[in-house]
Amino acid sequence: MLEIRKGTATKNYENTFFREFADNLKKMFDKYSLDGLLIANSECEAEKRLQIDALLVTEKAVLIIDFKNFGGKITLPKNAKSEFDFGKWTNKNGEQIKGGSSINPFIQLKIQKERFIKVVEKQILKKLSPSDSFNAYHTVRAVCFQKPIELIGKIPSNEELNFFIFDKNTYLETIKDIIDISDKEVSLSKNSFDIFKEIFRADLFDTSEKYDQANDFTSYHTELDFDNLYPDQKSALNEIENFIRSEEEKIFILQGTSLSGKTHLIPFIQEVAFNNQVTEVKLFASSSRIANNLLKSSNLEFESIYSYIYGGNSTSIDEKENEEESENSLNLEIVPLLKSDDTEEAIFIVDEGHLISDNYHQSVDLRFGSGKLLNDFLEFTDLKNTKRKVIFIGDSFQLSLGKKEETSLNPEYLSEEYSFKNNAFQLIDKENKSIIVSEALKAVNCIRQ
């Protein structure tokens, strides 16, 4: 029997296809009397950065599956390892098939598998039944296209046993072949399935049940029109490309008022980065609420900085409530800063940068890291010891958290406080603006004067 669990998807087509996928997989498991666990869109408290479309756990194999809403002819990079790792996947129309924030699905699944291995080693292996075994390095990665495809190109021979590409017409037979292979280092019973359910949390899912509709982005296309950008936007992209190529500059600040087109440039920045052999471009917002709002308005998937850089086992300290009354103290829980496992050349783009500052913040009994979000984010990125770069995007005239001088949009502060060489670009105000924005710009112009 196949037990099916599912969390919340961000896109409507993911819900629709998973329902079909899970139903067909269940029928196959019933036909061959197989046991398994299928978990989609789970929440992993041990590693919130690990976001798997579908995790399939069986007796002989474990699969990480990523769904892609493309079809037709899919062209893979050349077969050489370096080119396959860092090259683009495209469809017949020339649209790039990205892997989330990665240049392609292969790199995306590589990062996911590395995080998955760490979770298994820390959270699962010690709880397995004595008779069970699982070498997480044997986890299989797979890309499942939701429409029929024709592959142009091949997977490198050294990856053929642990990386697969299939579509809606071939996923059943391919998965059947994968889980039929005997592996001495993978032997999992139903008791061990329960451990995966504890770590990768999702609700039981009935393939016939009704569910709320998610945002529908099926009409969205990845093709970008550079020619229709404003002159200042084109200039900004040129500056950003020079920044990406620079070996010295670590931080770029893109400023602009409301409707200046700064957020609109983000997918163009990603494209420029990918064209310069950058394999990972992560998008961040200060909170989950802002990340969700940006997703709705731009169809770009943003991470919450708090969810991405903080986590692990919290520590507690006794903090005096009043220095003169030492007997009164509060037990302060501190959520630690994680270590980045992103690629060494990753670029981090932070929108709404005016909300990222060194203003100290803690609640009555909880603090994240040092309490200074900008400081912690820069420490997390480890710019000084890697080739990573950060692009802060925002409006310096909007209200910030704390002192305006200590936000991520202040080049002088970043240079003096953190010794990072940086560059900045200011987009001009655009003519097409709402009444509210027009009134806001009047205040901005007064400040400028």
β-bridge mates for residue 55, sequence order? 39, 64
β-bridge mates for residue 319, sequence order? 330
For residue 281, what pLDDT is reported?
A: 96
Are the C-beta atoms of residues 357 and 406 closer than 8 Å to each other? Answer: yes
For residue 292, what pLDDT is reported?
A: 77
Domains contained in the chain, CATH given:
2-204 (no CATH), 226-448 (3.40.50.300)
Distance CA 34, CA 149 (A): 28
Pairing of strands 200-201, 36-40: unpaired
**DSSP structure class, residue 430:** P
Unique residue bearing structure tokens 């329960």: 194
> Roughly what angle, to the nearest 10 degrees, separates helices 231-245 and 266-275?
40
Distance CA 168, CA 146 (A): 5
For residue 183, what pLDDT is reported?
A: 86
**DSSP structure class, residue 427:** P
Write the CB contacts of 13 (distance below 8 Å, at least 6 apart in sequence).
69, 146, 216, 217, 218
For residue 405, what pLDDT is reported?
A: 85
β-bridge mates for residue 332, sequence order? 317
Other C-beta atoms lying within 10 Å of the C-beta of residue 220: 10
Other C-beta atoms lying within 10 Å of the C-beta of residue 9: 19
Are the C-beta atoms of residues 353 and 394 closer than 8 Å to each other? Answer: yes
Cα distances from 240 to residues 273, 348, 408, 422, in angstroms, run: 9, 13, 17, 11
Distance CA 66, CA 140 (A): 11
Helices (H), 38-159: 81-86, 105-119
Local mean pLDDT, 10-residue blocks, the chain (449 residues): 85 75 95 95 90 95 95 88 85 91 94 96 92 95 96 91 95 95 90 94 84 47 77 95 94 89 92 93 86 70 91 68 51 90 95 91 88 96 96 84 84 93 88 60 58
Helices (H), 330-422: 373-381, 411-418
For residue 224, what pLDDT is reported?
A: 78
Q: Which amino acid is at 227?
A: D
Distance CA 164, CA 172 (A): 13
For residue 294, what pLDDT is reported?
A: 72
Query: For residue 311, what is the enclosing H or E element?
Result: none
Nearest to 222 by CA among 391, 76, 93, 84: 93
Query: In the Cβ-directed half-sphere of 288, how many Cα atoms lie within 13 Å?
Result: 7
Write the CB contacts of 245 (distance below 8 Å, at least 6 apart in sequence).
276
Phi, psi of 331, deg, nearest 5 = -85, 105
Q: What is the pTM of this model?
A: 0.82
Distance CA 32, CA 165 (A): 23
